[in-house]
Structure 1
Amino acid sequence: MFVPVLVLGLAAALAPADVDLEWVAPADCPPRDAVAAAAARLVSRPAGAGPAEERVRARAVVTREPRGLRLDLELHSDAGLDRRTLRARGCQVLADATAEILATAADPTLARAGVPPALPPESDGTWPEDPALQDMTQSTLSPAPAVARAPAVAPALPADPLDPPVAPALPADPLDPPAPAPAPPDRPRASLRLAGVFDQGSLPGPTGGLALALGVMRRAFRVELGFAGYVPRDARPDPQRPPGARMSLWTASIRACGVAGLRPRLELAACGGLEAGALLGAAFGTGAARTRAQPWLAAVVGPELAVPVARRVAVTLGVDAVVALVRPLFVLDGVGPVFRAHPAAFRAVLGVQLRIP
């Protein structure tokens, strides 16, 4: 019990009667009595002739921040009100600064005498001290008397100039929408499509067929190589007479499509390409029946809608306009012309597309 009583008594004896300090700080900071005793030792040093000491009331609050500690100091003296804000990584540095400010406010002659801090700046062990911060009382606090003697309220001092400015970290607003997920990489994919085709105009009458297409696709375009065959249709110059020809069409095509994603589950493509093949005519109803082939060449354009139903499977629906670039003509000996390809045709295509991978 003797040592604590001796320390408190010494602090009370050394504390100047003209300084009233309220010290609010974390438990690991120097106590209020140590700060008051340091200020008392500074005031008690002989500094030459000067004005009488003034009554000073001070309130110091030390709080923790992400980068260290902050001191908010409020001084009431005959010169007026003075507010200051200081920052450091160690509480001891802030305690030293408070002691010197209190001493110079109580006895302004100390500023002219250049009195150093009473307590050596030591780390409190909580944050590593920056060596540059240990000179804070000399570099930052030296103009303190001029501020304390100002008749008007002095502005708060800026943060320690030795520390880089730190932008406060704003908490995330729970009402803000979540950040959009990054788009998956646009890697090339292979495609295999099997489709049923309804055709009006390529043969003498409406017909149907099957089409197979192999392609390479990316998110914005697709290139396909296709093959198709159509159910034969009969052509007769005179419906009342038997001579005629059975017409069939086999084609190979290449086309390119530009793709736009309307929704996550919907794709719209604009396609165009060329179709080449053979238009076959097999004669019937005559003594010399034979089969002949004529070249077929046409341009194919139209839109296509794709609905992905799984990661690797999509259902496609397309409508094509077929413009004949070559119009084959079939003639039966002794009968005359049997069939000439139409200038244009219409097709509807419904298929299932497999996408790999």
Structure 2
Amino acid sequence: MPAPVLALGLAAALAPAGVDLEWQAPEGCPPAGDVAAATAKLLGRPLNPGEAGERVHARATVTREPRGFRLDLELQSQAGRDRRSLRDRRCQVLADAAAEILATAVDPSLAPAVPPPLPPESDGTWPEEPESSDMSKTTPAPTPTLFSPVAPPPAAPAPPAAPTPPGPGADDPLDAPPPTPAPAPPPDPLRASLRLTGVFDQGSLSGPTGGLGLALGVMRRRFRVELGLSGLAPREARLDPTQPPGARLSLWTASLRACGVAGLRPRLELAGCGGLEAGALLGAGFGVEDARTRAQPWLAMVVGPELAVPVARRVAVTLGVDAVVPIVRPLFVLDGIGPVFRANPAAFRAVLGVQLRIP
């Protein structure tokens, strides 16, 4: 290589880099001198911000955010204007990134020689925000990298700032514990139920009576649907209590009902139930010749509250009170004697049961 060309290249490499840097950062961040020193170390030559006809003008502003810091960097060079925005939890990382961007803007040939980046410090709190750029050739932004500290040029000491008393909430938001996630709701699987009940009835037959019932259903925490079978013990009905002719009455029904359930306490469930029951009212005559047994249809609405007390995970005790309103009112008549029974307009039932819940 000719000696003049070699001398010109060596002079350009050792000449101070013309850079004008404006750096604004909150307290606790590296000062402008640290950023300039890191840039000079990457370039391998000093910076000369006061030289006329500087090649690069940089304006950098660091602001504090709830989860860290944000760097807004604007570069003006012969290639055009470029804007960058970076975020990180540590201000030092942003200062090092600004030095790298500034060095590659002054000397683009340094981009491949930049040291490999450290693992990113950001925890993914911020989404990427692409910034607009009107440069015809945009220099890729290197990942923030830490450098060895370089002594900044001497500067006049600044007067000490008056201490600010800490106020409520002056703690660093980065030290705040993460919010506790809301607990997941407990599962509400579909369960089967089997219930055996004892029944006390007043009004369905000619007098108070009792019976048994069996119900099979499906349930969740807030509702239950049951299909049941029940029977009431026979009662005698006579036209004249002093005369023997009469009929022995019994009631057999199948029912379908639904319940809405509200949990009052962990060990207490209150339900409102309603449904229909259908069956047959059987009457067997006695005290007359040619006594026969006849069946009359039975159809009624059943409505009432029910209280359930779980005594184990799969067992509960239930207590219900039902109002029974017949839609069809059966009538029994003995030949030659007259009517001996007609169903009442309403009846009352108390139901006590034990419920098995599966699983």
- TM norm. shorter chain > 0.5: yes
- SS of the residue corresponding to residue 310 of structure 2 reads coil
Deviation of the 1:354 alpha carbon: 2.1
Q: Give the direction of change, closer, same or farther, for the CA distance of 1:213–1:83 in structure 2 (3 Å limit).
A: same
For residue 308 of structure 2, what is the aligned residue in structure 1? Answer: 308
2:122 is aligned with 1:121: no
Q: What amino acid sits opposite 1:211 in the alignment?
A: G
Checking the alignment, whether the CA contact within 8 Å between 1:324 and 1:344 is kept in structure 2 is: no
Matches within 5 A, 1:143-162: none
- SS of the residue corresponding to residue 38 of structure 2 reads helix
2:271 is aligned with 1:275: no
Unaligned runs of 5+ in 1: 1-12, 45-50, 104-109, 129-138, 148-158, 163-170
Q: What amino acid sits opposite 1:223 in the alignment?
A: L
Q: What amino acid sits opposite 1:98 in the alignment?
A: L
Checking the alignment, whether the CA contact within 8 Å between 1:330 and 1:339 is kept in structure 2 is: yes
Specify which of 150, 173, 185 is matched with residue 189 of structure 2.
185
For residue 169 of structure 2, what is the aligned residue in structure 1? Answer: none
For residue 53 of structure 1, what is the aligned residue in structure 2? Answer: 54
Q: What amino acid sits opposite 1:38 in the alignment?
A: L
Matches within 5 A, 1:101-112: 101=105, 103=106
- Return the alpha-carbon distance in structure 2 between the equivalents of residues 273 and 73 of structure 1: 80
Matches within 5 A, 1:311-322: 312-322=316-326
Q: Give the direction of change, closer, same or farther, for the CA distance of 1:143–1:323 in structure 2 (3 Å limit).
A: closer
1:251-295 Cα deviation digits (max 9, x unpaired): 221111133336653222221121224223432xxxx88965332
1:141-196 Cα deviation digits (max 9, x unpaired): 9955999xxxxxxxxxxx98x9xxxxxxxx9888x9x6772561222222222121
Matches within 5 A, 1:69-218: 71-73=71-73, 84-86=84-86, 95-101=99-105, 103=106, 115-117=108-110, 120-127=113-120, 181=185, 184-199=188-203, 202-203=205-206, 207-218=207-218
- SS of the residue corresponding to residue 190 of structure 2 reads coil
Q: Give the direction of change, closer, same or farther, for the CA distance of 1:344–1:268 in structure 2 (3 Å limit).
A: same
Deviation of the 1:20 alpha carbon: 4.6
Q: Give the direction of change, closer, same or farther, for the CA distance of 1:246–1:122 in structure 2 (3 Å limit).
A: farther
2:224 is aligned with 1:223: no
Deviation of the 1:346 alpha carbon: 2.2
1:88-123 Cα deviation digits (max 9, x unpaired): 99877654213234x3xxxxxx7xxxx333672333
Deviation of the 1:211 alpha carbon: 2.3
For residue 261 of structure 2, what is the aligned residue in structure 1? Answer: 261
For residue 327 of structure 1, what is the aligned residue in structure 2? Answer: 331
Percent of paired sites with the same residue: 15
Deviation larger for 218-227 or 33-42: 33-42
Q: What amino acid sits opposite 1:250 in the alignment?
A: S
- Return the alpha-carbon distance in structure 2 between the equivalents of residues 55 and 95 of structure 1: 13
TM-score normalised over the length of structure 1: 0.58
- Return the alpha-carbon distance in structure 2 between the equivalents of residues 119 and 34 of structure 1: 17
Deviation of the 1:355 alpha carbon: 1.9
Q: Give the direction of change, closer, same or farther, for the CA distance of 1:341–1:243 in structure 2 (3 Å limit).
A: closer
- SS of the residue corresponding to residue 123 of structure 1 reads coil
- Return the alpha-carbon distance in structure 2 between the equivalents of residues 329 and 140 of structure 1: 96
Q: What amino acid sits opposite 1:227 in the alignment?
A: G
For residue 351 of structure 1, what is the aligned residue in structure 2? Answer: 351
Deviation of the 1:318 alpha carbon: 0.5
2:27 is aligned with 1:34: no
Deviation of the 1:349 alpha carbon: 0.7
Taking only aligned residues, the RMSD between alpha carbons, in angstroms, comes to 5.0
Checking the alignment, whether the CA contact within 8 Å between 1:324 and 1:342 is kept in structure 2 is: no
- Return the alpha-carbon distance in structure 2 between the equivalents of residues 213 and 15 of structure 1: 101
Unaligned runs of 5+ in 2: 1-13, 122-129, 144-176
Checking the alignment, whether the CA contact within 8 Å between 1:22 and 1:58 is kept in structure 2 is: yes
- SS of the residue corresponding to residue 184 of structure 1 reads coil
- SS of the residue corresponding to residue 34 of structure 1 reads helix
For residue 337 of structure 1, what is the aligned residue in structure 2? Answer: 337
1:324-343 Cα deviation digits (max 9, x unpaired): 46533224xxxx41543315
